[in-house]
Amino acid sequence: MDGTPTARTSVREATFALLRGLGLTTVFGNPGSTELPFLDRWPADFRYVLGLQEASVVGMADGHARATGRCAFVNLHSAAGVGHALGNLFTAYRNQAPMVVTAGQQTRSLLANLPFLGAVDAAQFPRPYVKFAIEPARAADVPAAIAQAHRVATTRPHGPTFVSIPSDDWSAACAPVQPRAWFPDAAPDPAALAEVARLIAAARRPVLVSGPEADAEGAGPALVALAERIGAPVWTSPFSSRLSFPESHPLFAGHLHASPAAVSDALTGHDLVLVAGAPVFTFHVPGECALFRAGVPIVQMTTDVEAASSAPAGTAVLGSLRLGLPALAALLPASDRAPPAPRPRPRPAPPEAETPLTAPYALHRLRAAMPPGTILVEEAPSHRPAMHRHLPVDAWGGFFTMASGGLGYGLPGAVGVALGSGRRVACLIGDGSFMYSPQALWTAVQERLPLAVIVMNNLGYGAMRSFSRVLQVRDAPGIDLPGLDFVATARGMGCPGLRATTPDELDAALAEAFSASGPMLVEVAVDGAIATLYDKS
């Protein structure tokens, strides 16, 4: 049934042959009646990863895609499944996670009559957070549509695409899809790189801002080599969703805040700003970015046309960083520029061991407990500044978070990263964030993933408390989260858990979580200190 397709085959056979050819043999899904014809007699060489809610399905696919650098394949249940998935689809779009999302549709013969489970305008529903969406006009076009969706998803910037598939299409006759090689990366214009090299050579105090694209393209070492060749300090772009520069490197300057004034202050004083693989810039709070009117050249290297075209100032050089960064470095004369003064950022003193536990102390101990090679996935909004201070990351591919601002990504994302990387993963997550897609933990148990889930329980939406201060909002409802028992929640899904309220309990729980062969949850009861997220807005 699922062997090599003949000149005339079924949509189902042609699709499985196509997926094999593309290496898409892991399917993230949640099934319903409209998907059963696809799942029928499931081939032994395919893996089906079940998520119990579609936000988790897409979040897991995103983590898998970003950890492997390969496209993920998703199968959802009609409009309801896509609807549940939309928040994390938005995040996958912003994360530039390559994935083909398919969704079952009611059988074509019923569609005119508003059937149960029929999706109206199915291809419209996930827009605009998919790069391409289609419900093919004919059943026979489904495999070719999936092939096209794959090509679009894996053209930079990567992102999700969508194919709606009526359930009777799977048995229809069609021709096999011709295999095609796909080399989507395009190098930047050499003339533009020569101009950037000239600007860099002429600058006395250049600065780099690096974003997630270098890591995504496997161009991290090329980025470090370029920074060292220029001798410039490197900031990471606001809300970067992956490691953007090794944080112990002497040229690492810090993480830019998503505030126009803060970005401007950090970069003012430089006579050239080179932004590699990031928007110019991602802001969260309003304000004036004087830098844009200061006449300082801002050069942005990116594959993202949307990010390049929406930048308010500067020059954009479109093209792959993997190809562009080494080409630019090769054009640069050896610099006689004095290297930047070492950053006045001494290692922070270890936080005090106290009860109740403080977040900085918990993160300091987490760093000590994490075995080498552990990948960190984070969604703990108010603890970001403390994480940056006490949990520096240095390894390319060693850190993931989301670029969108939408919570509910972290836990399924961590499950996907663990599945895709085959490595131990630490998921650092807030109590609020955990509750958006907790069922991803069940998948981690079923897949026996070495995943330590560290829930920072401050009994509420800490970032909202902090943000209320920034916006001078008082007495807002909906911010406290009493009565949640994360250890019991984990146990209910077959995952062991421990609660830590003292420094000793914390060390013991972390040691157990990081030596477990499967997932384990550690609930850390932290004090309610309100973090400062924006000291300048």
257 binds ligand TPP (CB under 6 A): no
Nearer Cβ to ligand TPP (392/406): 406
Is residue 33 annotated as part of the catalytic site, yes or no? yes
Query: From the centroid of its chain, how far is CA 159?
Result: 11
- DSSP state letters, 417-465: HHHHH-S-EEEEEEHHHHTTSTTHHHHHHHTT--EEEEEEE-SB-HHHH
Specify whether the CB–CB gap between 477 and 503 falls below 8 A.
Answer: no
Site for ligand TPP in 463-492 (CB under 6 A): 463-464
Amino acid (1-letter code) at residue 135:
E
Measured from the CB atom, is 285 or 508 closer to ligand TPP? Answer: 285
Binding mask 423-452 for ligand TPP (x = CB under 6 A): -------xxxx-------------------
Residue 408 makes contact with ligand TPP by CB under 6 A? yes
Residue 175 tokens read as 């021709």
- Give the Cα separation of 504 and 502 in Å (integer): 5
DSSP secondary structure string, 281-295? Answer: ---SS----GGGGTT
Task: Tell me whether residue 319 is one of the annotated catalytic residues.
Answer: no
Q: Which is nearer to ligand TPP, 406 or 518 (CB)?
A: 406
Element (H, E) at 300: strand 298-302
Q: Does 406 bind ligand TPP (CB under 6 A)?
A: yes
Alpha-carbon span 123 to 151, nearest angstrom: 17
Which residue in 77, 150, 364, 383 is the catalytic one?
Answer: 77
For residue 299, give every residue at least 6 positions away whose Cβ sits within 8 Å of its Cβ, in sequence order, or none: 196, 199, 272, 273, 274, 275, 314, 315, 316, 317
Q: Decide whether 129 or 396 has the Cβ nearer to ligand TPP.
A: 129
Selected from 63, 360, 381, 420, the binder of ligand TPP by CB under 6 A is 381
Could you tell me the smallest distance in angstroms from the CB atom of residue 258 to ligand TPP? 13
Among 95, 241, 458, 489, binds ligand TPP (CB under 6 A): 458
Annotation marks residue 354 as catalytic: no
Q: Which of 254, 287, 314, 405 is catalytic?
A: 405
Q: Which is nearer to ligand TPP, 155 or 382 (CB)?
A: 382
Distance (Å, whole) CA 121 – CA 135? 9
Considering 10, 13, 29, 35, which one is annotated as catalytic? Answer: 35
CB distance 424 to 453 below 8 Å: no
Q: Let me know if 64 is a catalytic residue.
A: no
From the list 30-38, 217-225, 305-313, 381-389, the region that binds ligand TPP by CB under 6 A is 381-389
Q: Please tell me the count of residues contacting ligand TPP according to CB under 6 A.
A: 18
CA 39 to CA 24: how far, in whole Å? Answer: 15
> From the CB of 455, what's the least distance to ligand TPP, in Å?
9
Q: Which residues contact 116 (CB under 8 A, 6 or more apart)?
A: 106
Smallest distance, ligand TPP to C-beta of residue 433, A: 3
Return d(Cα 69, Cα 163) in angstroms, integer.
Answer: 21
Tell me if residue 284 is catalytic: yes
- Rounded to an integer, what distance in angstroms lies between the CA atom of residue 453 and that of residue 379? 11
Q: Which residues are catalytic?
A: 32-33, 35, 54, 77, 284, 405
Note the residues at the interface with ligand TPP (CB under 6 A): 87, 380-383, 405-408, 430-433, 458, 461-464
